[in-house]
Amino acid sequence: MYKKIILALSLEHGYSTRALEVARRLRAEDGVIQAVHVYEQPSSNVGAYLDEEILAMAYAEARARLKERVANAPDVEPVMLKGHSGMTIAEYAASSGADLIVVGSHKPGLRDYFLGSTAARIVRHAPCSVHVLRDAD
């Protein structure tokens, strides 16, 4: 059983009740689950043309969507981070002492073999166990 579980969530994909069920089954009796979403800011080329207020509003909207996603799960703490999804989740797992990351993954396409998916990056760089759910909804 795991004491601290990170449930990696993408706000662009559907909420995975299956992933949450897996995290709950793997959690120790006194363990915690954190639903982590990484907000990826626009690249500096694009960001240079965007107003700071617009960027702040986009971040606030993403934060609200994350809280809404876990509103019916009182045992899950929402955590919003900024950065690149795969690396930021792995770094957060290391700094927060997580011992498991649960992440969904789609069937890989050709692009994934060249660039790597978020789940693949997490698996390569995570300091802890990673449970990958194929075709998470």
Per-residue pLDDT at 125? 95
| Mean pLDDT (whole number) for 17-25 | 92
Q: Are 4 and 93 in contact (CB under 8 A)?
A: no
Per-residue pLDDT at 42? 66
Read off the pLDDT of residues 28-74 as tens digits, 9 standing for 90 and up: 999 999 999 999 876 666 556 667 788 888 899 999 999 999 999 99
Helices 85-96 and 118-125 pack at an angle, to 10 degrees, of: 30
Half-sphere exposure of 10 (CA within 13 A, CB side): 15
pTM recorded for the entire structure? 0.85
Per-residue pLDDT at 110? 55
pLDDT of 137 over the 50 cut = no
Q: Which two tokens stand for residue 67?
A: 């809280």
pLDDT of 134 over the 60 cut = yes
Per-residue pLDDT at 47? 57
| Mean pLDDT (whole number) for 118-126 | 92
pLDDT of 13 over the 90 cut = no
Q: Are 103 and 133 in contact (CB under 8 A)?
A: yes
Read off the pLDDT of residues 104-118 as tens digits, 9 standing for 90 and up: 886 666 555 544 588
Domain boundaries, the chain: 2-134
84, 86, 88, 93 alpha-carbon torsion, rounded to 10° = 170
Q: Are 128 and 34 in contact (CB under 8 A)?
A: no
> Helix, strand, coil shares of the chain as percentages rounded to 5?
40, 30, 30
Q: Which CATH code, of 2.40.160.10, 3.40.395.10, 3.40.50.620, 3.40.50.170, is assigned to 2-134? A: 3.40.50.620
Read off the pLDDT of residues 76-95 as tens digits, 9 standing for 90 and up: 999 999 999 999 999 999 99
132 φ/ψ angles, rounded to the nearest 5 degrees: -100, 125
